[in-house]
Structure 1
Amino acid sequence: MATLLVRGIDEALVQRLRERAAAHGRSAEAEHREILAQALSARTAISSGPIHRPGPSMYFHDPQCR
């Protein structure tokens, strides 16, 4: 497994992460992994569909402008 180091985190945020971990009965490290896994799996589900790019039919067509 890889190791991830995040620097420059506000102390208040770190405290909230510790409190959240305690509320879920996990270590802070386990809570961090869970937060990342949930955030990225949700993002993947949203972005896994086809990418829509503007095609010719999406623009105003004026035969004289070709």
Structure 2
Amino acid sequence: MAGTELQSVQRGENPNDFKPMPTIGSGVHEIRVRTEVEHRVFYVAKFDEAVYVLHAFQK
């Protein structure tokens, strides 16, 4: 599920469930994946060449 959300970001689209995280850094967003277990992915997408995943974890 997180991979699909990151592909959306690569295409310039917004993920289904995300929010900006300015307390972590400028341009950082959080993807929230809600299944039986919740997962979070923090990424920066303000660079043309790539989407940079900063951290991913199970909540």
Category of TM-score, reference length = shorter chain: under 0.3
Report the TM-score, using the length of structure 1 for normalisation.
0.22
Larger Rg: 1
Greater strand share, structure number? 2
State the structure with bigger RCO (CA 8 A, min sep 6), 1 or 2.
2
Greater helix share, structure number? 1
